[in-house]
Amino acid sequence: MNGKKVNWFFLTTILLHVLIVVVLVVFRYVITLGIIANFIISSAMIVVPALLFLAASGDNWIWAIGFHRIKWSTALMIVLFTFLTMPLTTVINAFSMLFVENAVAGMSDQILTLPFIVSFFFIAVAAPVSEEVVFRGIVYRGYRRSGTLLQAAVFSALLFALGHLNFNQAAYAFAIGIMLVFLVEATGSIWASIIYHVVFNGYSVCVMYLAEKLFPGILEAEELTGQAYRDSMLYGMASSLILAAVTSAIAACVLVWIAKNENRTQRLAQIWKMRHDKKEKIVTVPLLIAVIICIAYMVVDVILYKMM
């Protein structure tokens, strides 16, 4: 696929999501979905359309998705890279929470009703694999055909962020999307981004269940509100900012090491060096429509939450 087809795919996915939400709202007294059904439908809504668009394009699936072997030493360093970037995502998450709710925390009570192994599979295995196949595989490589590497990185990260359909996750998902593209280019394989995503989500699931085990009810405890809430968020951001700066700098060094280990240092450097190369236009009408729908959906979601 090229960039234009990627934009049509994303618009199709967003419209499908909105349609399903409308149907569930209209028939809420007839159709009741549990958390597992929600996990399955969420993954299917991005994977199925993406694979159908890919099949229609006639591309080689292995090339289009990017499944290539990487060294074991690289895989281990990707795990280290993941933990080094977590303080940065924590700061971004805390900043977004000054304005909107924490989307993951809002689902914690439903998630914790499931056995740990079930939650771990859906959140830390199924979701990361499906999202990486789509966003760092099909979407990024599609944009890479039409635009520069930097454009492909930014726009694939943008779609990854908007695809979460809430401002909280979109904020740090955009940053993660950029980092995952760097990993893919540093290794030449989508396995790199899958490893990162699995470790990142897996860590979150483990912390959630461990916190509930050690301090029962802590995740359902009443949250601070008003100025007290803002003060706690600002304090958390300030205390994490210096740590994030240090670990992010180390993470950049680890990324360079990974590229050298996979003999792709030049490829990683090309993301910036080739930023001015002129190629096809990436921004098209379907993309603009999809972005507008996503933002409108997220704004309505925030308004409805505050009205509850």
- In whole angstroms, give the CA distance from residue 114 to residue 122: 11
- pLDDT(59) > 90: no
Residue 223: count other Cβ atoms within 10 Å of its Cβ: 11
- Domain ranges (residues) in the chain: 3-307
pTM of the model: 0.92
Q: Where does the pLDDT of residue 237 fall: very low under 50, low under 70, confident under 90, or very high at 90 and above? A: confident
- pLDDT(109) > 90: no
Decide which of 194 and 21 is more confident.
Answer: 194
Q: What pLDDT sits at residue 1? A: 83
Taking CA atoms, 290 is separated from 7, 133, 186, in Å, by 8, 20, 30
- In whole angstroms, give the CA distance from residue 238 to residue 30: 47
pLDDT in tens, 163-175: 999 999 999 999 9
Q: What pLDDT sits at residue 217? A: 64
- pLDDT(226) > 60: no
Q: Where does the pLDDT of residue 225 fall: very low under 50, low under 70, confident under 90, or very high at 90 and above? A: low
Q: What pLDDT sits at residue 227? A: 56
Task: Retrieve residue 182's tokens.
Answer: 């760097």
Among residues of the chain, what percentage have pLDDT more than 70? 92
**What value does the mean pLDDT take over residues 157-165?**
95
Q: What pLDDT sits at residue 229? A: 56
SS3 content of the chain, % helix, strand, coil (to 5): 80, 0, 20
- pLDDT(300) > 80: yes
Q: Where does the pLDDT of residue 285 fall: very low under 50, low under 70, confident under 90, or very high at 90 and above? A: very high
**Is residue 231 within 8 Å of residue 71, measured between CB atoms?**
no
- pLDDT(32) > 90: no
**What value does the mean pLDDT take over residues 260-269?**
92
- pLDDT(221) > 50: no
Q: What pLDDT sits at residue 240? A: 81
